[in-house]
Amino acid sequence: MADIIKLLPDHVANQIAAGEVVQRPASVVKELLENAIDAGATSIKLIVKDAGKTLIQIIDDGKGMSDTDARMSFERHATSKITTADDLFNLNTKGFRGEALASIAAVAHVDLKTRPSGVEVGSHIEIEGSTINLQEVCACPKGTSLSVKNLFFNIPARRNFLKSNNVELRHIIDEFQRVALAHPAISFTMYHNEGELFRLHSGNLKQRIVAIFGGKTNEKLVPVQEETDILTIGGFVVKPEFSKKTRGEQFFFVNDRFIKSPYLNHAVTAAFDGLLPDKARASYFLYLKVDPRTIDINIHPTKTEIKFDDEHALYAMLRSTIKHSLGQFSITPVLDFNRDSELDTPYEYKNKGVVTPKIEVDRTFNPFENVGVPKRGVQRSEFEKVDTSGWEKMYEGIQQSHGIASTITIEKEVSTPDMFESGMNDSEEDFAFAKANKNPDAQQSLEATTYQLTNKYIVSTIKSGMVVIDQHRAHQRVLYEEFLRNITVKESVSQQLLFPLTLTYTTTEFELLEELKEGLENTGFLFGTISGDIVEICGIPTSITESQVPVVIEQLLSDLENEVPDSSFSQTDTLAKSMAKSLAIRGGEYLNARSREHLVNSLFACKEPNRSPLGKTTFITMTGEELERKFK
Please write down the HEC assignment for all residues of 474-530. HHHHHHHHHHHHHHHHCCCCEEEEEEEEEEECCHHHHHHHHHHHHHHHHHCCEEEEE
Of 328, 348, 378, which residue is a domain's last? 328
β pairing state of 250-254 and 284-289: parallel
Tell whether 291 is covered by a domain: yes
Instruction: Say what the pLDDT of residue 359 is.
Output: 77
Instruction: Say what the pLDDT of residue 464 is.
Output: 83
Rounded to whole angstroms, the Cα distance separating 434 from 136 reads 95
Choose among 567, 485, 487, 555: nearest CA to 519: 487
Q: How far is CA 493 from CA 489, 496, 498, 530, in A?
A: 12, 10, 16, 22
Same domain as 241, residue 167: no
Contact call for residues 147 and 125 (beta carbons, < 8 A): no
Tell whether 92 is covered by a domain: yes
Same domain as 73, residue 220: no
Same domain as 270, residue 318: yes
Q: Any idea of the CA torsion for 326, 327, 328, 334, to the nearest 10 degrees?
A: 170
Q: How many residues does the chain have?
A: 632
Query: In this structure, what CATH number is given to the domain that contains residue 534?
Result: 3.30.1370.100
Tell whether 396 is covered by a domain: no
Buried b (16+ CB within 10 A) or exposed e, 621-631: eeeeeeeeeee
Same domain as 223, residue 152: no
Rounded to whole angstroms, the Cα distance separating 612 from 590 reads 20
What is the 8-class DSSP label of residue 83?
Answer: S
Of 149, 166, 200, which residue is a domain's last? 200
Q: In angstroms, what is the C-alpha Rg of the chain? A: 36
Same domain as 127, residue 98: yes
Same domain as 155, residue 288: no
Instruction: Say what the pLDDT of residue 442 is.
Output: 36
Tell whether 131 is covered by a domain: yes
Residues of the chain with pLDDT under 50: 334, 336-337, 377-378, 381-383, 401-447, 564-569
Tell whether 564 is covered by a domain: yes
Same domain as 218, residue 196: no
- Residue-wise pLDDT tens digits, 57-82: 999 999 999 888 888 888 877 776 65
Instruction: Say what the pLDDT of residue 110 is.
Output: 94
**Amino acid, single-letter form, for residue 30:** K
Query: In this structure, what CATH number is given to the domain that contains residue 272?
Result: 3.30.230.10
Total domain count for the chain?
A: 4
Same domain as 431, residue 541: no
Tell whether 490 is covered by a domain: yes
Instruction: Say what the pLDDT of residue 385 is.
Output: 56
Same domain as 227, residue 191: no
Instruction: Say what the pLDDT of residue 302 is.
Output: 63
Tell whether 543 is covered by a domain: yes
Same domain as 248, residue 160: no
Query: In this structure, what CATH number is given to the domain that contains residue 134?
Result: 3.30.565.10
Tell whether 113 is covered by a domain: yes
Same domain as 168, residue 35: yes
Same domain as 429, residue 318: no
Instruction: Say what the pLDDT of residue 18 is.
Output: 63
What residue numbers bound the domain in which 496 lies?
A: 469-603
Q: Is the dihedral of CA 523, 527, 532, 533 positive or negative?
A: negative
Neighbours of 492 (CB within 10 A): 19
Instruction: Say what the pLDDT of residue 553 is.
Output: 84
Crossing angle for the helix pair 165-182 and 25-38, to the nearest 10 degrees: 20
Of 152, 177, 200, which residue is a domain's last? 200
Instruction: Say what the pLDDT of residue 103 is.
Output: 85
